[in-house]
């Protein structure tokens, strides 16, 4: 998606060879015009899909997912990251680990929000692909189906996109970053 790539080129900062800082427009300060364009782009891609609900994971996925939800006229369920296991049948949980942040958490939501639903997952970054697989495991527990995955920024120098594609997931990424060079402050796209 050209508009997102242009914004990353203009305001994205390669902090390391692994991590790009997009806090000027995506996850700390949010550019609403870019978010609208992102939502419309997801809507154009998923317009003909048969699904019930959009799902995202807090927190940085929320902004793009809200705009996609509005453009597709479908509800949005935000999966929470809970520090503790809940002894309550109202909730469904999936133990998860973030490679990027190095922390453990329980992906958590109320079962009845997603029970039996056909779901499209929208998220900001795709790195290792672990979030996607944990979301699918969570959905499976309530007989829900992961129909497709929409990602704003795939980091193709990390294995997530390739792993998910090879596993047969339907993955659409709006921008593919192939390399970050913090020395020259250059971000390369595929
Ligand atoms: P994975 O799903 O691809 O395996 O990713 P992993 O668990 O390793 O990490 C996902 C989290 O890391 C996400 O944050 C995502 O936004 C963040 N992340 C991954 N790569 C980058 C990057 O290059 N730049 C920035 N700024 N963030 C990155 P999260 O768990 O959703 O937490 P939150 O920050 O949204 O609250």
Is 20's C-beta closer than 6 angstroms to any atom of ligand 1? yes
Asked if residue 59 has a cis previous peptide bond (ω within 30° of 0), the answer is yes
Check if the beta carbon of residue 133 is closer than 8 Å to that of residue 127. Answer: no
Supply the range of the domain harboring residue 36: 2-189
The whole-model pTM stands at: 0.96
74 CA → ligand 1 middle, Å: 25
**Nearest one of 129, 139, 172 to 53, comparing CA atoms:** 139
Distances (CA, A) of 131 to 14, 30, 33, 52, 90: 22, 22, 27, 20, 22
Gap between the Cα atoms of 116 and 154, Å rounded? 28
Gap between the Cα atoms of 155 and 97, Å rounded? 18
Is 122's C-beta closer than 6 angstroms to any atom of ligand 1? no
Return the SS3 of 126: strand
CATH number, domain of 182, equals 3.40.50.2020
H-helix segments, the chain: 2-11, 32-46, 62-72, 111-114, 130-141, 160-166
- Which atom number of ligand 1 is nearest to the Cα of residue 126? 3
Distances (CA, A) of 103 to 14, 52, 162: 22, 31, 23
The total of structural domains in the chain comes to: 1
Atom 22 of ligand 1: nearest residue by CA position: 19
Using one digit for the tens of pLDDT, what is the confidence trace for 59-90? 999 999 999 999 999 999 999 999 999 999 99
- How does residue 100 score in pLDDT terms, banded at 50, 70 and 90? confident
107 CA → ligand 1 middle, Å: 14
Atom 18 of ligand 1: nearest residue by CA position: 125
Residue-level pLDDT at 71: 98
Is 103's C-beta closer than 6 angstroms to any atom of ligand 1? no
Residue-level pLDDT at 101: 83
Check if the beta carbon of residue 123 is closer than 8 Å to that of residue 57. Answer: yes
Bridging pattern class, strands 118-126 and 103-110: unpaired
Average pLDDT, the chain: 97
């Amino acid at each position: 998606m050209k508009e997102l790539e242009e914004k990353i080129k203009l305001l994205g900062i390669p902090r390391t060879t692994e991590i790009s800082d997009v806090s000027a427009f995506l996850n700390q300060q949010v550019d609403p015009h870019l978010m609208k364009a992102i939502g419309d782009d997801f809507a154009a891609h998923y317009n003909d899909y048969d699904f019930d609900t959009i799902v995202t994971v807090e927190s940085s996925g929320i902004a793009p997912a809200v705009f996609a939800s509005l453009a597709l006229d479908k509800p949005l369920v935000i999966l929470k990251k809970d520090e503790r296991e809940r002894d309550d049948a109202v909730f469904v949980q999936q133990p998860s680990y973030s490679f990027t942040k190095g922390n453990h958490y329980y992906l958590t939501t109320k079962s009845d929000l997603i029970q039996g639903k056909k779901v499209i997952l929208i998220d900001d970054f795709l790195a290792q692909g672990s979030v996607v697989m944990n979301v699918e495991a969570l959905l499976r527990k309530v007989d829900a189906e992961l129909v497709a995955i929409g990602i704003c920024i795939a980091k193709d120098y990390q294995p997530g996109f390739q792993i998910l594609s090879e596993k047969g997931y339907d993955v659409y990424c709006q921008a593919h970053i192939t390399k970050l060079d913090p020395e020259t402050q250059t971000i390369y796209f595929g």
